[in-house]
Amino acid sequence: MQIKDSFVINAPQEKVWEFLFNIPKLGECVPGIESVKIVDDKTYSGKLVVKVGPIKSEFTGTVIMTEVNAPNHIAGTVEGDDKSSASSVKANFSGTLTAVDGGTEAAFQVDANLRGRLAQFGGPVITATAKKLTADFAKNLRAQLE
Amino acid sequence: MNRIKFLEPTTFSEASALLADYGDDAKVIAGGVSVTLMLQQKLIAPSVLVSLGRISGGDFIRIESDELHIGALAKLHDLERSQIVREFCPALTKAFGVVGNVRVRNQATIGGNLSAADYAADPPAMLTALNARVQLQSPEEKREIPLSEFFLSFYTTALQPDEILTEIIIPKWPRTSYQKFSSISAEGRPCLAVGVAADFDSENICKDLRIAIGAAVETPQRVVEAEAMAHASTLTDELVAAIANEYSLRLDPLTDVRGSAWYRKEMIAVFVKRALEEVRNDNR
């Protein structure tokens, strides 16, 4: 399943880039993040709570950065699982920052593989949830950077 | 294995007070169709179930000041067989009668069907077309909102954690149509649901028209610009086709096992047209 989205922040590219690597601050902007831990300079672990209607899932997992090209491109992998619904997710992601008129455009692409009971929800529910989380994330980023 | 506490209040306000007490740990169960499925698949793990099964009188079907009032605990099968519903709105009888199969309808309540907010369902589109309203009960008060404000997103409604849907109120419409399209014959869920409610004058000129699309979109949707095209007009074949195309063009359907976005767009044009032809030709 592919998720693609982008948003614009009214802040200079360097400032946005710098913020993306301030992990504790960044964690505060991700909706549903309950904890983040820096394992090493390329590895982070954390816990994410996502609610869709009556269903609440708690994913614990790890993010590994595989490419970091300052100040415009990152790529990496995410692995996580939700014990209560016996579901797991594996994803590759990449993101780019581009200077645009009035600020910085952040674009990203996620190629995710969801297994387990949550997967029966199917694509539309998951992509809609991802879109909502992205919109909230963008809003939080703006509040911090603009 | 953790035990689930099963509570059986006898009134709606008592039930919603229990929800307020237990908060996130509690879930409401009526017919149990969607709750049992989610429990079985371990998608939810409540420690308390608040059953509405002991609440008496919550399953009424009656006409009051020219509107149909349905208690949230009415079973879909009782609604499907109700002479009151059939005389009030035949399309509604049809929409209730095509949900799942008879064993599901014997168990499922209309309140549960709406509160589950499953997008692949029949009643929401028809009830939205009819401009239905819902009554929500919290421990302190009852409020009434239009159904169009009830569905927020996938599986998500305007119900507060301590609120319970108690009643559905449906205005009278002279002509109605419900069209269900299933792409997978082995299951009861619609790929597309089209509900139409309309009013015509004695010359068969359209005075009012509401078309709601369900199952192909996250929550039931109308295209008011397309509905307005019918206003004060005779529904000629050309106009019917134009409205149907406008619906197909303006909606952004979802892709799932029952069909792709492109396929659903094509089907929206086909089934909106059929529904409009049905209300136009129903010239009694």
CATH number, domain containing residue B212: 3.30.390.50
* Domain carrying residue B230: 175-281
Strand pairing class (A2-9; B151-153): unpaired
Residue A137 CB-half CA count within 13 A: 20
**Which residues of chain B from 209 to 228 reach within 8 Å of chain A, CB to CB?**
218
Per CB-CB distance under 8 Å, the chain B contacts of A120 are 41
> What pLDDT is recorded for position B284?
58
Task: Report the distance separating Cα B266 and Cα A65, nearest Å.
Answer: 43
Best mutation target among A49, A50, A55, A58 (most B Cβ atoms within 10 Å) is: A55
By the CB < 8 Å criterion, does A85 face chain B?
yes
Best mutation target among A1, A2, A3, A52 (most B Cβ atoms within 10 Å) is: A52
Residue B56 lies in a domain: no
Work out the percent of chain B whose per-residue pLDDT is above 90.
91
Query: B245 with B223: CB under 8 angstroms?
Result: no
Contact B156 A53 (CB under 8 A): yes
Q: Do B116 and B211 sit in the same domain of this protein?
A: no
As given in the structure block, the two tokens for residue B153 are 């997103």
Average pLDDT, chain B: 95
Contact B255 A125 (CB under 8 A): no
pLDDT at B9 over 90: yes
State ipTM: 0.76
Total of domains in chain A: 1
Residue B131 lies in a domain: yes
> What pLDDT is recorded for position A122?
73
Specify the CATH number for the domain of residue A81. Answer: 3.30.530.20
| Structure confidence at residue A124 as a pLDDT band (50, 70, 90) | confident
* Domain carrying residue A57: 2-145
Handedness of CA A114, A116, A118, A122 (dihedral sign): positive
Q: Do B99 and B140 sit in the same domain of this protein?
A: yes
Task: Report the distance separating Cα B49 and Cα B72, nearest Å.
Answer: 18
Q: Do B203 and B181 sit in the same domain of this protein?
A: yes
Specify the CATH number for the domain of residue B25. Answer: 3.30.43.10
Q: Do B242 and B267 sit in the same domain of this protein?
A: yes
Q: Do B227 and B268 sit in the same domain of this protein?
A: yes
Where is the domain boundary, B136, B171, B206? B171
Residues B28-69 have pLDDT tens digits of 999 999 999 888 888 888 999 999 999 999 999 999 999 999
Residues A60-92 have pLDDT tens digits of 999 999 999 988 999 999 999 998 888 999 999
Handedness of CA A97, A99, A105, A111 (dihedral sign): negative
Best mutation target among B33, B38, B43 (most A Cβ atoms within 10 Å) is: B43
Distance from CA of A85 to the nearest CA of B (A): 6
Per CB-CB distance under 8 Å, the chain A contacts of B36 are none
Q: Do B181 and B239 sit in the same domain of this protein?
A: yes
Residues B97-147 have pLDDT tens digits of 999 999 999 999 999 999 999 999 999 999 999 999 999 999 999 999 999
CB-nearest partner of A124 from B27, B42, B256: B256
**Chains A–B, number of C-beta pairs less than 8 Å apart:** 47
CB-nearest partner of B41 from A52, A117, A123: A117
* Residue B225, helix vs strand vs coil: helix
Q: Do B70 and B167 sit in the same domain of this protein?
A: yes
Q: Do B165 and B206 sit in the same domain of this protein?
A: no
Task: Report the distance separating Cα B157 and Cα B36, nearest Å.
Answer: 19
Residues A40-66 have pLDDT tens digits of 989 999 999 988 888 888 999 999 999
By the CB < 8 Å criterion, does B45 face chain A?
yes
Mean pLDDT (whole number) for A36-41? 91
Per CB-CB distance under 8 Å, the chain A contacts of B255 are 123-124
Total of domains in chain B: 3
A93 beta partners: A76, A110
Query: B267 with B259: CB under 8 angstroms?
Result: yes
Per CB-CB distance under 8 Å, the chain A contacts of B44 are 54-56
